[in-house]
Amino acid sequence: MKTDFKKIATDGIITNNPTLKLVLGTCPTLALTTMAMNGIGMGAAVTFVLICSNILVSLLRKVIPSKVRIPAFVLIIATFVTIVRLLLDKFLPDIYESLGLYLPLIVVNCIILARAESFASKNGVLASAADGLFMGLGFTIALTLMGAVREVLGSGALFGIKLWDFQIGFFAQSSGAFFTYGVFIALFAFASNLIANKRRKLSAKQVDNTKEVQ
């Protein structure tokens, strides 16, 4: 079976963006987007876990009995999360500190479990690895953008560099997180609807043209 990597890529980043389209993994999205750097750190950690767990689940998909598949998936994910935690603690203690509780909570992150369940347990190893990579990228991009917006508005800085003294405290608080998230989902839906409509019109035109030729 030939795997369509282009489709997997657009699926992960745009059409099925885990944060903005599937609304999965909202807990870290809301809690950690106070700074853009947090988005990158969290995104990288999740992407790593996602790729590894997707590969392992895909390898073991014919061995794991379907009745106990969820505990098995969680066990696999927990293993990789532990590896990430130990690595970050050793080599990047700053990020480890700022991610705090949300790092061990990756174990129960819906995105990873959802991809293991709906993609990796049905597809080959390479396709699963690619899916993990692009899903993780979609998550990282969404989190970093949200973090950047909230950091600029809420604390007047970007990636920790101070821009100005003006701050709107609302965006640094949890209510601002919900607000920013809602606005992002709305804008994303608006943009994707616009593109879809344009494509539909284009393809309709093409059909018309071919009819005329005939």
Partner 1 sequence: MADKIYKFSSSPHVKAPTTTTRIMQHVCIALMPACIMGIVLFGLNAFLILALSVLGAVASEFIYLLIVGKKFNEIIKQFDFTSCVTGLLIGLSIGSQVPLYVPIFASAFAIIVVKMIFGGTGKNLVNPAVTGRIFAFMSFTSVMASGWLLPSIASLSGGTSLSPTTGATVLTNLFTNGVSTDLSILDLLLGTGLAGCIGETCKLALILGGIYLAVLGIINIGYPVIYIVTTGLITVCLNGFNFSYFLPSILSGGLVLGAIFMATDYTTTPNTTLGNIIYFVLLGAVTAILRHATGIEVVSFAILLMNLFVPLIDKFVINKPFGYVKAKKTKGA
Q: Which residues contribute to the site for partner 1 (CB under 8 A)?
A: 167-171, 173, 175, 179
Minimum separation from the CB atom of position 187 to partner 1 (A): 13
Q: What amino acid is encoded at 51 in this protein?
A: I
Distance CA(105)–CA(42), nearest Å, equals 11
E strands along the chain, which residues?
157-158, 161-162
Tokens for 194? 């616009």
* Residue (44 or 172) nearer to partner 1, CB: 172
Nearer to partner 1, 104 or 156 (CB): 156
Cα(58)–Cα(94) distance, integer angstroms: 33
Q: How far is the CB of 162 from partner 1 (least distance, A)?
A: 17
- Least distance from partner 1 to the Cβ atom of residue 11, Å: 30
Of 66 and 175, the one with the shorter C-beta distance to partner 1 is 175
Cβ closest to partner 1, residue 126 vs residue 168: 168
Q: How far is the CB of 152 from partner 1 (least distance, A)?
A: 14
Instruction: Please give the structure tokens belonging to residue 152.
Output: 């600029």
* 92: alpha, beta or left? (left if phi > 0; alpha if psi -120 to 50): beta
Closest distance of CB 136 from partner 1, Å: 32
Q: What's the token pair of residue 202?
A: 């284009």
DSSP 8-state code for residue 14: I
| For partner 1, the closer CB: 144 or 180 | 180
